[in-house]
């Protein structure tokens, strides 16, 4: 299981302390379980590659649309391929929760 790589308990308790609302908790959980943090960083801004986008504090509607477009292939530049590989694991409802969560992070 991928969870074992990331000290999930410590990570979750840190996020829960910061997240006031239920939807944010859900998005925080998804951000970890869907492996977003491996590329974008656990804070959404410490990216694994300098060229990967910081997404902490991103506008919710924009982030949601980008995720949908990367999943569908509508957004398909050179770097989108890296993320597209995992997007079959993420539903529309999960993308909504993730976009909400990202918008609550400190940019
Ligand atoms: C394998 C690495 C990788 C993973 C895993 C990954 N991403 Fe990405 N993500 C990227 C890259 C690279 C881009 C930039 C794509 C491009 O240039 O079109 C990106 C773009 C984005 C964007 C658009 C940013 C912008 O400013 O337009 C959002 C939002 C996003 N990712 C959220 C997520 C979420 C949420 C997850 C987990 C479900 C996730 N990503 C998983 C690598 C990844």
What confidence tens digit (pLDDT) does each residue in 7-28 have?
666 666 666 555 544 444 589 9
| Ligand 1 geometric centre to CA of 67 (Å) | 7
CA distances from 78 to 46, 75, 81, 82, 107 (A): 21, 10, 6, 8, 25
- Tell me the mean pLDDT in the region 70-74: 97
**How far, in Å, CA of 64 to CA of 98, rounded?**
8
Looking from the CA of residue 98, the nearest atom of ligand 1 is 35
What letter does residue 75 receive in the DSSP assignment? S
Which residues' Cβ are closer than 6 Å to ligand 1?
A: 34-36, 38-40, 52-53, 55, 58, 63, 66-67, 75, 77, 79-80, 82-83, 86, 90, 98
Share of the chain above pLDDT 90, in %: 74
Mean pLDDT over residues 65-71, rounded?
98
Tokens for 19?
């997240």
All domains of the chain, ordered by start, with CATH?
A: 2-50+57-104 (1.10.760.10)
User: What Cα–Cα distance (Å) separates residue 31 from each residue in 6, 74, 78?
Assistant: 12, 22, 23
Q: Which atom of ligand 1 is nearest to the CA of 75?
A: 18
């Amino acid at each position: 299981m991928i969870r074992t790589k990331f000290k999930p308990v410590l990570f979750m308790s840190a996020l829960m302390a910061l997240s006031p609302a239920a939807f944010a908790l859900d998005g925080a959980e998804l951000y970890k379980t869907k492996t977003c943090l491996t590329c974008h960083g656990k804070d959404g801004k410490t990216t694994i590659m300098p060229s990967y986008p910081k997404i902490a504090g991103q506008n919710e509607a924009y982030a949601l649309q980008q995720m949908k477009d990367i999943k569908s292939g509508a957004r398909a530049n050179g770097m989108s391929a890296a993320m597209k590989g995992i997007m079959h694991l993420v539903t529309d409802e999960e993308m909504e929760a993730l976009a909400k969560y990202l918008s609550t992070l400190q940019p």
